[in-house]
Structure 1
Amino acid sequence: MNRISGIALALATLIVVGVLGCGSKGAPLAPVTGRVTLDGQPLAGATVCFMREGSPKWSFGQTDADGKFALTTIAENDGAYLGLNQVTVSQPAATSASTAPNRPAVGVPAPDEYFKQLAKSAASQPKLVPEKYQQLGASGLSAEIKAGQNLIDLPLFTATAAAP
């Protein structure tokens, strides 16, 4: 190989690495959608949070009128980190506009402040979801996120309704 070809090859390699990057820019994510029910009924307006141990941020979503959600970590509906995630579900009986925190914008580096505000807001509201489902590690809820689309249904039960 002559000297000019070697230099051209080196420059081409640098350009490709510069454009594509080397390796991932963080842990891989996979799309996650699902449905939350409470005693068999869709749970609307609940906040669903996934946290993989050692991950830099939460993945979160809000349920619609049918209890359906899609998780966001960095970009809208991009999902959750691959691997075993602990899950929490919370929902106050009613949240007034004056006490509810603003949902973080897509791409916000870390939604930790949102969750602190959400916890503060929710603490003063009556709860529909039993307390155990709202505590990371104590909820008994977890999900293994794999590459590709993940469908995670979360059936929750009150003390008066028995789990199947």
Structure 2
Amino acid sequence: MKSLSYASLCLSALVLVSGCGGPSAEFPTVPVSITVTYKGSPLEGANISMVNNTTHSKPVVAIGRTDAQGVAKMSTPNSGDGAVKGIHLVTINKYSTTETAPAADIESDDYDPDSASNVAAPKSLIPVKYTSLNSGLTIEVGDTAVTKTFDLED
């Protein structure tokens, strides 16, 4: 079950990081902690991405995953370092997980190659508007550590 959420986090990071460099000494990072609540309760297991393209020649991404208290410590590809300075667009996603069915035996007389396409797609457990860079969620990172709370609603 956790592998789907982890895969979602990795996919988000891969999509956002492709072509994007991690920070260098030229772009120092600052610790960032984000708390996410949904309908007033902490949102555990949500994947958060921050994309900064305001102060650099190419986007610099930070990602994190919320714990049981809804808190994520953000990090660039250099693990645990925070985020670069500037204004970041924020996405948050959390999807339902389903148990993976055992692999079909392609040697069986009952094998149906079309049955694999009947697997249900993961369902967003929060409004899909928060999964887009156009979500309206932003965070500004300055010279000092940042703590930010996003209270998500339907």
Separation in 1 of the partners of 2:150 and 2:78? 23
Mapping of residues 71-86 of structure 1, within 5 Å: 71-86=74-89
Larger radius of gyration: 1
Q: Which amino acid aligns with 2:124?
A: K
> Where do 5+ consecutive residues of structure 1 fail to align?
1-23, 99-122, 159-164
Letter of the 1:151 partner, please give it. T
Aligned residue among 49, 62, 68 for 2:71: 68
**Count of aligned pairs:** 110
Match of 1:91 among 76, 94, 97: 94
Q: CA RMSD in A?
A: 2.1
Aligned residue identity for 1:154: F
Pair 1:150-2:149 in alignment: no
Give the corresponding residue for 1:130: 127
Residue in 2 that maps onto 1:116 = none
Higher helix share: 1
Q: CA deviation at 1:146?
A: 0.9
Q: Measure the CA separation in 1 of the matches of 2:76 and 2:29.
A: 8
Distance 1:148 1:97 in 2: 44
Structure 2 spans left out of the alignment, 5+ residues = 1-23, 102-119
SS in 2 for 1:93: coil
Q: CA deviation at 1:69?
A: 0.5
TM-score, scaled relative to structure 2: 0.65
User: TM-score normalised to the size of structure 1?
Assistant: 0.61
Q: How does 1:80-119 map to 2 (within 5 A)?
A: 80-94=83-97
Distance 1:151 1:95 in 2: 33
**One-letter code aligned to 2:69:** D
Identity %: 33
Distance 1:93 1:82, change over 3 A: same
